[in-house]
Amino acid sequence: MAELILVRHGQANSHATSEASYDQLSALGQRQAKWLGEHLSTTNPHFDQVLTGTLNRQVGTAVGMGYEITTRDPRLNELSYFALAHALEAEHGIPAPREAVEFARYLPQVIDHWVRGALSDVPETFEDFAGRITAVIDELCDQHGRILIVTSGGVIGMVMRHALGLETPGMAKVMLQIINSSMHRLEHVHDMLMVGAFNATPHLDTPDRAHARTFI
């Protein structure tokens, strides 16, 4: 039986305007990773494999947690949010929000246009994104042991869609709720991918760390 523990990377550069400038952990993101690693070290620290994508924020989170990475698999990289946002504005006149509170209405629009194939100038189709995520998860489900996967919110949202059979609006809502450095546990049992935990942040669940429960 495979047990998959997915972790969203720590907070990245939330003021970025491009993929390149976003792809670095903030000082808080580094602390989130350290705190999560400390929590795991006192509970259940062993993993048979540790996987990340190739993005700096994913790799930095795993290293900050204190783990040696087994595999850096580009299939675990995040969707290209900035490219999707630029295409949505250029092709449909819908600009990205300036306030974080507006993002809850904006992201579902991005995903909806992407799913419908209404964004042409983007690095990959929604089908390609879904395909690479489900492929790597299905491969890991065929293995045994406890596997740590440090990745990103869009990837975790897609994994939840795959496990729970979510429609696109449901997946977008899930993505919006994923906290930086949160943990998500899945088990592959009798050919079924079962969700055992979603968005767990035991390392942040104290009053003095309430400020560290970030989404962006």
pLDDT band at 126 (very low <50, low <70, confident <90, very high): very high
Residue recorded with tokens 């209404």: 118
Which one-letter DSSP state was computed for residue 18?
S
What are the DSSP E strand ranges found in the chain?
Answer: 2-8, 49-52, 71-72, 145-151, 183-189, 192-200
* CA angle (107 as vertex; 101, 113 as ends), nearest 5: 150
d(CA 46, CA 69): 13
pLDDT band at 190 (very low <50, low <70, confident <90, very high): confident
At residue 1, the pLDDT reads: 81
Average pLDDT over residues 82-93: 96
At residue 38, the pLDDT reads: 98
CATH code for the structural domain at 2-76+145-154+179-210: 3.40.50.1240
pLDDT tens-place string over residues 11-61:
998 777 788 889 999 999 999 999 999 999 999 889 999 999 999 999 999
Treating both helix axes as pointing N-terminal to C-terminal, what angle do 103-115 and 81-92 enclose, rounded to 10 degrees? 80
Q: How high does pLDDT run on average in the chain?
A: 95
